[in-house]
Amino acid sequence: MREQTVLILGGYGGAGKALAELLLKETKLRLLIGGRNPAKAEAFADELNA
């Protein structure tokens, strides 16, 4: 079976961040999280990898 991937645009804001955290906790999906702010992206990645 192929790994399923979900793209979340605006993933560093409130709703996108909550959705990403929920999907990581409750599923085995591969997430791609996109947005316009590289600093927020890096901070969110660090938070998820902690």
Neighbours of 48 (CB within 10 A): 13
pLDDT recorded at residue 4: 96
pLDDT recorded at residue 27: 95
Is residue 1's pLDDT more than 70? no
Report d(CA 31, CA 19) in Å as an integer: 10
Is residue 26's pLDDT more than 70? yes
Report d(CA 39, CA 24) in Å as an integer: 21
**Structure confidence at residue 13 as a pLDDT band (50, 70, 90):** confident
Quick one: 35 exposed, middle or buried, by C-beta within 10 A (0-12, 13-18, 19+)?
A: middle
Q: Phi first, then psi: what are they for 33, rounded to 5°?
A: -115, 120
